[in-house]
Amino acid sequence: MSLYGTDLLALLPELIVVAAACLVIALDPITPASRRDLLAWLSLGALSLCLGLTVGQINTLNIRVSAFSDLVVIDAYARFWKVLLYGVTGLTILMSLPYLKAERIHLGEYYGFILLALSGMMVMVSGADLLTIYLGTELMSLSLYVMTGLNRSKPRSLEAAAKYFVLGAFSSGILLYGISLLYGMAGSTKLASIASAIGTHGANDPLVLIATILVAVGFSFKLAAVPFHMWTPDVYQGAPTSVTAFMAVAAKAASFAAFMRVFVEGLGGLKADWSLLFLLIALVTLVLGNVVAIVQTNIKRMLAYSSIAHAGYALIGFVAAGRAVGPSGSTPGLASVMIYLALYSFMTLGAFAVIGMLRKGEREGEEIEDFTGLAKRQPLAAFLMLVFMVSLAGIPPTAGFIGKFYVFMAAVDAGLAWLAAIALLFAAVSAYYYMRVVMVMYMREPDPAAVAPRLVTSPALSFVLACAVAGVILFGLFPNPLVSFALQSVLTLK
């Protein structure tokens, strides 16, 4: 066995991202501070190259290319997530430019770390072996720990990094222990071997159940599902806003992608067990995320709890896939998770972009109070925030409604109508705290004595906001292209 050209070719997008990351870090010391924008544009160039390659890599949707003796696969499922991740990463880089300058932390290595995190995520979504999935997860997490602590002058940022690091390393340890037990059961860490070993061992082996629970706990930390969510609010609040947006969207999407592949392809034989486990997790996640978000006064913290709640909604789609009995099997459930996370990306990125550009004097406008009377002073920013909040609450005709619609439909089809009803009830609860932001912006008079909010804008940021708002509204009105893309992509996941 040797390194074949075709294997390297299959991994070309990952290699380009890693090479670009190294190049950015190497160029950083010799780039004058005034020209650091060039590093961002270099990263964006690498991303668009990868986008072209990834789209071109698979001509037919049912093809499944394995590389490096089945360590990674290139299939339509991975392609869906990679396209989403390129988009999210590109938009994050664009919105970081003005934000990092305003916070005076415009460091070149930031772009290097974003690209390294992206390469980890790409390996996660393509991994067909627990080894590669674990390595991808770690590469993503390690880069995110550093990015969280980027604002070294703020103790809050460092504290968030330390908390994230401790809990992230703890969860990786649990995940790895689960992986080692699965290896002990199957004699290999390949998902396909694990699936066939479960077929022969039967599902009632206690070792397998313990391993499954440990792997589920490890992934639940990464997905920020209750009761493994404690790091989320602290980290989302403490991290620089552009990093928070990246974590909330890209890291969550990649974790869900790897999580679904592991549980469907590797542990599919234990469907009955894990779907019950995740049913409980989804329920408590929904309830706690939505209820605790109500009492938050910091908008980043509120969005952290909202992101926990959204993980709960996406998990409902996953549970529906595990419970599905109909002729189309788990396809609608899995596709609904993909649709949900893709749509969630637009509204969350948009909301964080607005938060990142709002400044009060020297500091960032991140308290909900800072939005008081924004509609009078900055009508356009207030309107954009309104659109994102409406979409996060899941009110038609926005993308958030479409996402919830497909998840709930999948749940009803799988015979979980009661779960969909509870989720709908808590979507109504969530409307309360999202609408509070809108109320503060539109109904309250700005306090004349207070420092007027100021916006840090740039053409790049306007472009990000335009993309986000276009995604929210266009996919809300015409969801079909995305839905059929997700339905086709999910077919390679077996």
- Residue ranges in contact with other proteins by CB under 8 A: 131, 134-135, 138, 142, 145-146, 149, 152, 155-156, 158-163, 165-166, 169-170, 172-174, 176-177, 179-181, 183-184, 187-189, 233-234, 237-238, 292, 295-296, 301
CA distances from 426 to 316, 378, 409 (A): 13, 31, 16
**Nearest alpha-carbon partner for 171 in 231, 111, 116, 236:** 231
Nearest distance from C-beta of residue 336 to other proteins, angstroms:
30
In this structure, the chain runs to a length of 494
Smallest gap from Cβ 252 to other proteins, in A, equals 20
- Report the candidate in 313, 314, 380 with the shortest Cα–Cα distance to residue 353: 380
Q: Which is nearer to other proteins, 1 or 325 (CB)?
A: 1
Reading the block at residue 282, the tokens are: 């989804």
Distance CA 47, CA 43 (A): 6
- 97 versus 147: smaller Cβ distance to other proteins: 147
Q: Provide, rounded to whole angstroms, the least separation between the CB of residue 162 and other proteins.
A: 5
Minimum gap (Å) between residue 67 Cβ and other proteins = 17
Interacting residues of 329 by C-beta distance below 8 A, sequence separation 6+ = none
Q: Which is nearer to other proteins, 57 or 237 (CB)?
A: 237
Distance of alpha carbon 275 from alpha carbon 272, whole angstroms: 6
CB of 257 to other proteins, least distance (A): 20
Q: Which is nearer to other proteins, 364 or 413 (CB)?
A: 364
Nearer to other proteins, 238 or 312 (CB): 238
Burial of residue 462 (number of CB atoms within 10 Å: 0-12, 13-18, 19+): middle
Minimum distance from CB of 201 to other proteins (Å)? 14
Q: How far apart are CA 330 and CA 322, in angstroms?
A: 6
Q: Which is nearer to other proteins, 230 or 421 (CB)?
A: 230
- Enter the tokens of residue 16: 């380009």
Closest approach of other proteins to the CB of residue 477, in Å: 37
Q: How far is the CB of 246 from other proteins (least distance, A)?
A: 17
Coil, helix or strand at residue 453:
strand
Q: What angle do CA 79, 83, 84 make, to 5 degrees?
A: 115
| 373: phi then psi, degrees, rounded to nearest 5 | 65, 20
- In whole angstroms, the minimum distance from the beta carbon of 170 to other proteins comes to 5
Comparing CB distances to other proteins, the nearer of 231 and 352 is 231
What are the C-alpha distances in Å from 50 to residues 18, 36, 423?
A: 11, 22, 38
**DSSP-derived secondary structure for 455-479:** E---HHHHHHHHHHHHHHHHHHH--
Q: DSSP letters of 293-355?
A: HHT--BHHHHHHHHHHHHHHHHHHHHHHHHH--STTTTHHHHHHHHHHHHHHHHHHHHHHHHH
Are the CB atoms for 392 and 252 separated by under 8 Å?
A: no
| Measured CA angle at 159 (ends 158, 160), to 5 deg | 90
Minimum distance, C-beta of residue 399 to other proteins, in the bound complex (Å)? 29
Q: Is 360 helix (H, G, I), strand (E, B) or coil?
A: strand
Q: Name the residue nearer to other proteins (CB basis): 143 or 398.
A: 143
Cβ nearer to other proteins, comparing 188 with 457: 188
CB closer to other proteins, 105 vs 343: 105
Q: Which is nearer to other proteins, 144 or 342 (CB)?
A: 144
Shortest Å distance, C-beta 163 to other proteins? 7
Instruction: Round to whole Å and give the CA distance between 269 and 277.
Output: 14
